[in-house]
Amino acid sequence: MRRTHYRQGDVLVVAVDELPLQMLPVPREDGLVVLAHGEVTGHRHAIAEPHAELLAPPGDDDETRFLRIVGASARLVHEEHAAIILPGGVYQVIRQREYNPDVNAVFVED
């Protein structure tokens, strides 16, 4: 089965059929749903619409995140990338990693 996906810099958003059990809301930052922070620039991959929600499992490790957009679409923005319109639905949020043999996998710095 082919999954719809969207990429914005080092963030990949992949459509999924449903949320895993026991997901908890991640608090908004300055009113925004923040999918990822840029380590180099401090910019954020973020959504402002009120009908979007970021979710994580209990004991969140900042790696397993899901995005739920109820009803209408939402706009994913970042200061250095084109905005992406995400249709309503459920998505897994994946941060791109790069392999470094000295420290295993590390997040790509955006």
Structure confidence at residue 109 (pLDDT)? 54
Structure confidence at residue 81 (pLDDT)? 86
Task: Determine contact, residues 5/15, Cβ cutoff 8 Å.
Answer: yes
Task: Determine contact, residues 13/2, Cβ cutoff 8 Å.
Answer: no
Angle at 78 between CA 72 and CA 81, to 5 degrees: 105
Structure confidence at residue 100 (pLDDT)? 64
Q: Scanning the structure block, which residue is given the tokens 């499992």?
A: 57
Phi, psi of 40 (to 5 degrees): -85, -50
CA pair distance 14, 83, nearest whole angstrom: 16
| Tens of pLDDT, residues 13-67 | 999 999 988 999 999 999 999 999 876 667 899 999 999 999 999 987 677 899 9
| Tens of pLDDT, residues 67-96 | 999 988 999 999 888 999 999 999 999 987
